[in-house]
Amino acid sequence: MMNVWGMTDVGLVRKENQDAYMVKTETGTGQTICVVCDGMGGTAGGKLASRIAVETFTLELEKVLTADMGPQQLREASSYAVSLANQAIREAAAQTEEYQNMGTTLVSAVSYDGGMVVTNVGDSRAYHITESGISRVTKDHSLVERMVDRGDITAEEARRHPNRNLITRALGPDADAQCDGYICPMAAGDYLLLCTDGLVDTVSDQEMLFEVLHGGDPAGCLDRLLEISKSRGASDNVTAVLLKKL
């Protein structure tokens, strides 16, 4: 069983919210599905791409879910749903010239008895939060992540790098969008936080950890994180989903 909370906000600078998220707790097989997307590409394109992604991913994953699926099967099912979401975005983009360059990131989670299976494309992230600390589950598909891997810059420098928003994978622009899948075991009381870079760029990992575990009622946690982001300018849309394993 999972408790789930979600939040999305346009922020303080952007005129339109191109993020999207979806939470499905009442699947026929009893699993919980969550997905967060950060759209890009033109005034209308990003908003459309993220909406198509969350809707298509959730719908297609639900079609293939069975109650007895293990983590590896869920990882494969999620990858399949990502490929269909990518196809749907590309088909929509081909119909209208103004949508040709639209795309979106995606980070998702689907539950199994022992935790969550996480999938990502782009730089939207998943964090596992426990009493012992916060750890990032996903790896960004971005230019600065490659620089960190090579040792050119530190993780802290990456947070402020002028090219931090240049991603190397996305749904839409890539004909064969490659996703990564992770199995995240969780104990009762553990949290999983899915979020877009609008949150990551303005709130530190340690601040996320504090607000989730010590900030007060978990139901108000995402609002508190949003307020921190806004206090620092919230130059991008801010979206997050928080899950707690019961």
pLDDT in tens, 63-119: 999 999 999 999 999 999 999 999 999 999 999 888 988 999 999 999 999 999 999
CATH number for the domain running over 2-139+169-245: 3.60.40.10
Burial class from Cβ neighbours inside 10 Å (0-12, 13-18, 19+) for residue 6 reads middle
DSSP lists the bridge partners of residue 118 as 109, 182
Burial class from Cβ neighbours inside 10 Å (0-12, 13-18, 19+) for residue 28 reads exposed
Q: Which amino acid would we find at residue 219?
A: A
pLDDT in tens, 225-238: 999 999 999 999 99
Distance (Å, rounded) from C-alpha 49 to C-alpha 30? 28
Tokens of 119: 């999938």
Every domain of the chain and the residues it spans:
2-139+169-245
**Phi and psi angles of residue 188, each rounded to the nearest 5 degrees, phi first:** -55, 130
Average pLDDT over residues 117-131: 98
